[in-house]
Amino acid sequence: MENSKPVIYQVFTRLFGNTISANKPWGTRQENGVGKFNDFTDTALQAIKELGVTHIWFTGVPHHALIGDYSDFGISDDDTDVVKGRAGSPYAVKDYYNVNPDLAVDVSHRLDEFKALIDRTHRRGMKVIIDIVPNHVARAYHSVSNPEGVEDFGASDNTSVEFARDNNFYYIPGQAFQVPESRDGYQPLGGEPHPQSDGFFDENPAKWTGNGSRMARPDFYDWYETVKINYGVRPDGSADFDLLPQEYTQKTAAEHLVFWQERSVPDSWEKFRDIALYWIQMGVDGFRYDMAELVPVEFWSYMNSSIKVANPDAFLMAEVYNPSLYRDYIYRGKMDYLYDKVGLYDSLRAIITGHDTADSLPHCQHEVHDIEPHMVRFLENHDEQRIASRAFAGYPEKALPAMTVTATLGNSPVMIYFAQELGEPANDNAGFGSETRTTIFDYWGIASLQRWYNGGACDGGHSTDQEKSLRDFYKRVLQLSAGEEALRGSFYEIHSYNRMHTQGYYQMAFSFARWSMNRKLIIVVNFKDDITDRYTLQLPAELTKIWQLADGNYSMRDLLFNQRTFQLAVKDGLGTIEMEVLPLESLVLSIESIQ
């Protein structure tokens, strides 16, 4: 675990530096353009770092299935019937030992270009995260870059049986794969003629689909472009491997690794361990694990302990949505961080959209109080709708109080999605990707990002006034999150107390205290977009006692914009602050001095 508080910038790599604005639905990379590793220049990386960013998650780096002719480089074509979109899903990895050829200027040296990006990112003082997708691979997985002695997934499988422990896939013996029946008028490539758009993909016997479908003809809404990896879990759900004893929740990564070194493990475990160590040895600093809860926790113990022994500082972040699994995946699976999606994200989204109140937030913090430093907080990522989209907030400023809470509530990492800081609405239909989420399947240009990117100057030279104002806010709150020691310290919730005792403090206000040895903070936000809050905020005597505040008056300064001051009065142990909080305003108030 890191001593500092990480700030993660997730960037969809192929969209970042694309300066072409044609935006033709289903357009080719020649028509719509595609960003490259080289677009992350020292200038671009420095501008990202200035947001307060400590880690960049470069999404879509491993070579995934896509529609494009790279046969001159020994890369097989992908079948349009099992590729979503034209640019392809980054979660249908085709070759784990190389990178997406679209991202390289010189495809024959694409891995060298990525290594150079790792080096540039490190020189700018940031760390590199990439995806590993352990639950599934592309239906047509085929590596042209395997190290010597490394076999492709499935190369030695016994395909005559549904399950064998050391098979990499599950099979449906006696049945060939059938392309799903199309829905809602869908046609590959939007209906453009293509030699492989024939409704056929050669796979016999059929394999289980990535989301677990056991049908030879999966549904259109299944993850039909992928096949599920077999980790030694039998079709009835039982384990064909040794289980990890419960006492290993208290043991180190090195002790976990010793446990597994004394045991035989399924072949898929070894393959993914070797893949992870390959990237770690290259200089990658960590991974975001897709749909980690679909893979047994014993595998994660094996995988993550191997990584941590090789690099104790590796950053391991997992997509897990079932709260009942959180502690198991952290303590027995040796994960550093998990998504706080079904807790804080869902509550903040409901508040922003008017379906809930701030009264839900104390519960969110309480539910994870023992593991809170392990929970990654966010308001956007590639799976979620853009804040400014019509289906979410409708305009980006409405989420600024929620962003302040996201960044300052706990000791956990905070993450933003590229162009979130510019209010990107994602209101276009790019092809396979639908509006409200920035497409991960299509070649596309993001107008707000292109205005900021400004041909590589990365100075917001063409940004609108609104975009400049938003980026300034995000820069302030993220820098504060990364650098303020009190935001890595203690927490005390004062919202509930004020709801009970303070007249005029209503359910769309929220407040809490954070502190360290040298700094004491009160964070106050107003989720209402049309009403200025006026009330006397109260600090309970228990808090003033913890802070050792003697009776008297104290000056307080807002650290976000350094423009507003307030006065804290302590009398008989009770603290009070006369508050005026503007619509959608966030205040991070620091006690500066006694008057």
Question: Helix axis angle, 267-282 relative to 297-310, nearest 10°?
Answer: 30
Pairing state of beta strands 565-571 and 7-12?
A: unpaired
Which residues share a beta bridge with 569?
553, 576
Q: How confident is the model at residue 119 (pLDDT cuts 50, 70, 90)?
A: very high
What are the residues whose beta carbons fall under 8 Å from the beta carbon of 251, sequence distance 6 or more? none
Dihedral sign of CA atoms 98, 100, 106, 107 in order: positive
Amino acid 185: pLDDT: 87
Contact (Cβ atoms closer than 8 angstroms) between residue 446 and residue 421: no
For residue range 5-21, list pLDDT tens digits in order. 999 999 999 999 999 99
* CATH number given to 486-594: 2.60.40.1180
Burial of residue 224, with CB atoms counted within 10 A of its CB: 0-12 exposed, 13-18 middle, 19 or more buried = buried
Contact (Cβ atoms closer than 8 angstroms) between residue 364 and residue 343: yes
Domain ranges of the chain: 7-158+236-483, 486-594
For residue range 578-591, list pLDDT tens digits in order. 999 999 999 999 99
Rounded to a whole number of angstroms, the distance between the first and last alpha carbons of the chain is 40
H or E, element range at 49: helix 42-49
The answer, yes or no, to whether residue 479 has pLDDT greater than 70, is yes
H or E, element range at 327: helix 326-327
In sequence order, what DSSP letters do the residues of 212-272 get, joined into one string? ----SS--TTS-TTEEEBP-SB-TTS-BSSPPPPGGGGGS-HHHHHHHHHTS---HHHHHH
If we measure between CA atoms, which residue out of 427, 429, 440 comes closest to residue 184? 429
d(CA 127, CA 280): 12
d(CA 501, CA 495): 10
The answer, yes or no, to whether residue 406 has pLDDT greater than 80, is yes
If we measure between CA atoms, which residue out of 93, 212, 228, 232 comes closest to residue 167? 232
d(CA 336, CA 573): 40
Contact (Cβ atoms closer than 8 angstroms) between residue 481 and residue 5: yes
The answer, yes or no, to whether residue 253 has pLDDT greater than 90, is yes
H or E, element range at 299: helix 297-310
What are the residues whose beta carbons fall under 8 Å from the beta carbon of 484, sequence distance 6 or more? 519, 521, 559
Q: Count, in order, helices (H) and strands (E) of the chain.
A: 15, 22
d(CA 13, CA 37): 7
d(CA 510, CA 499): 9
Token reading at 309: 């022994």
If we measure between CA atoms, which residue out of 516, 520, 543, 540 comes closest to residue 589? 520
Cα→Cα distances 538→496, 504, 554, 567, 578, Å = 11, 12, 14, 12, 9
The position carrying tokens 């639908």 is: 434
Helix %, strand %, coil % of the chain (to 5): 30, 20, 50
* Residues constituting the chain: 595
Token reading at 99: 């990178």
Amino acid 262: pLDDT: 92
For residue range 196-222, list pLDDT tens digits in order. 999 999 999 999 999 999 999 999 999
The answer, yes or no, to whether residue 449 has pLDDT greater than 90, is yes
d(CA 387, CA 379): 8
* CATH number given to 7-158+236-483: 3.20.20.80
If we measure between CA atoms, which residue out of 284, 276, 271, 283 comes closest to residue 58? 284
Pairing state of beta strands 93-99 and 520-526?
A: unpaired
If we measure between CA atoms, which residue out of 371, 297, 370, 369 comes closest to residue 334? 297
Token reading at 202: 């050669």
Amino acid 537: pLDDT: 98
Q: How confident is the model at residue 3 (pLDDT cuts 50, 70, 90)?
A: low
Amino acid 2: pLDDT: 47
H or E, element range at 480: helix 465-483
Token reading at 101: 């050829």
Residue 184 gets the label, from left (phi > 0), alpha (psi -120 to 50) or beta, of left
For residue range 354-397, list pLDDT tens digits in order. 999 999 999 999 999 999 999 999 999 999 999 999 999 999 99
d(CA 446, CA 14): 11
3-state secondary structure of 469: helix
Amino acid 145: pLDDT: 95
Contact (Cβ atoms closer than 8 angstroms) between residue 337 and residue 376: yes
Contact (Cβ atoms closer than 8 angstroms) between residue 244 and residue 331: no
Amino acid 1: pLDDT: 40
3-state secondary structure of 275: helix
